[in-house]
Homo-oligomer: A and B are copies of this chain.
Amino acid sequence: MPERTLVQAVRDALAEEMERDERVCVLGEDVGLKGGVFKATEGLQRRFGAQRVLDTPLAESSIAAVAQGLALEGYRPVAEMQFADYSFPAFNQIVNEIAKIRYRSNGDFSCPLVIRAPTGGGVRGALYHSQSVEAYYCHVPGLKVLLPSTAADAKGLLKAAIRDPDPVIFLEPKKLYRAERGEVADGDAALRPIGEALVVRPGSALTVITYGFMRAVSLEAAGILARENIDVEVIDLRTLRPWDVEACVRSVRQTGRVAVVYEANRTGGFGAEVAAELAERCFADLDAPVTRIASPDVPAMPFNPGLEDAYMLNPEKIADRLGALARY
């Protein structure tokens, strides 16, 4: 199987799905000749034409609205928000319109579309190119929210999202676009089911539940603890809504200890949902408090590297907290 970076895998998924199904189209700012600011759509316009790969005006609300209109007419639009931070002008279209049209029409209408957006920090993007926005969308019934962290998952889940009958928010950790690479299958063999978490490192001492860029960082932290013979299990959620509660419960039942590691601001982050649910479901099995390890409640990543480092979680910060949890 070919080696691909995460961003290449996204591009492959788009190309394959557009090849497979002519209803699939791509729209967004600079997705055409430029191929997107991260090159996720590079070459697609040359290959599929300026209709199916449409450069939109600089107006996110209309990007979401037009995608919805196309979906209502039977197309399978994949809309790009250039940065997740810039999905907020489209918030009303996404939350009030796209997420609720199936419900409010009592099932008469549906809106199968994908909204892709690069998310998260660590790339010196500063306040407005670094935000982790998943919590806003994970609270919305009617939406599905995916956040892959490997090339294979990015491709497999994006293909599944495009084929899904409901609207999907597809968040891509921009920090991993080029940093993350791996073997990726072609065609349907690449498909990944929505809603399944994955144990990416088996362990017995404690469970780390994470997603996105924090998967790699948590694995490093687990490596550090391995030297102290603390054997950490790491689970990558991959899908945040609906998330794989059972897989997490299974692990926590065995380890008796769990930390939820997420890059977003701590307060009200999606990790709170995971922690609350597991605290309730696994109460009898817990030997230590369900622990949240997240970013500080600061608006977002500052530009200055020293401040950015101070903001970001890293393997050491996480290892410290995990060590304490293991010793609790």
* A195–B161 CA distance with the chains assembled, in angstroms: 41
Selected from B88, B280, B297, the residue in CB contact (under 8 A) with A91 is: B88
Indicate whether A138 reaches chain B with its CB closer than 8 angstroms: yes
* Interface locus among A2-10, A47-55, A94-102, A197-205: A94-102
Partner of A141, one of B96, B136, B288, B297: B297
Q: How far is the CB of A89 from chain B (nearest CB, A)?
A: 4
* 27 A-B pairs with C-beta separation under 8 A: A85-B96, A88-B92, A88-B95, A89-B91, A91-B92, A96-B128, A99-B299, A100-B299, A103-B127, A103-B298, A136-B136, A138-B267, A138-B268, A139-B265, A141-B297, A141-B298, A241-B268, A272-B272, A272-B275, A273-B276, A275-B279, A276-B276, A276-B290, A276-B292, A279-B289, A280-B289, A283-B289
* Assembly stoichiometry (copies): 2
Instruction: Check if A227 is an interface residue, CB within 8 A of chain B.
Output: no
Which residues of chain A (233-283) have a CB below 8 Å from chain B?
241, 264-265, 267-273, 275-277, 279-281, 283
Q: Is A142 part of the binding interface, using a Cβ–Cβ cutoff of 8 Å?
A: yes
A290 touching B299 by the CB < 8 A rule?
no
In the bound complex, CA of A280 to CA of B291 (Å): 6
Contact with B along A62-96 (1 / 0, CB 8 A): 00000000000000000000000100110110011
Check if A286 is an interface residue, CB within 8 A of chain B. yes
Instruction: Digitize A121-144: 1 where CB-to-B-CB distance is under 8 Å, 0 elsewhere.
Output: 000000110000001101111100
Q: A91-B92, A103-B299 are in contact. Are A280 and B290 (CB under 8 A)?
A: yes
Contact A100 B127, beta carbon cutoff 8 Å:
yes
A300 at the A/B interface (Cβ < 8 Å)? yes
Instruction: Name the residue of chain B whose CB is nearest to the CB of A135.
Output: B139
Assembled-state Cα–Cα distance A297/B299 (Å): 28
C-alpha gap A277/B268 in the complex (Å) = 10
The 7 closest A-B pairs by CB, nearest first: A139-B268, A279-B279, A283-B289, A88-B92, A275-B276, A91-B91, A272-B276
Check A327 for interface membership: any CB of B closer than 8 A.
no
Give min CB distance, A273 to chain B, whole Å.
4
Q: Is A104 an interface residue (CB 8 A)?
A: yes
A97 to chain B minimum Cβ distance, whole angstroms, is 10
Q: Nearest Cβ distance between residue A203 and chain B, in whole angstroms?
A: 21
A91-B92, A273-B272 as given contacts; A100 in contact with B300, CB under 8 Å? yes
Does B270 lie within 8 Å of A268, measured CB to CB?
yes
Q: Which residue of B lies closest to A295 (CB)?
A: B141
A181-204: which residues lie under 8 A (CB-CB) from chain B? none
Q: How far is the CA of A95 from the CA of B279 in the complex (A)?
A: 30
In the complex, chain B residues whose CB is within 8 Å of the CB of A91: 88-89, 91-92
Residue of B nearest to A271 (CB): B276
B136 with A139: CB separation less than 8 A: yes
How distant is the Cα of A138 from the Cα of B100 in the complex, in angstroms? Answer: 22
> Taking A141-B299, A280-B289 as contacts, is the C-beta distance between A241 and B267 under 8 angstroms?
yes
The A292-312 residues at the B interface (CB cut-off 8 A) are 292, 297-300
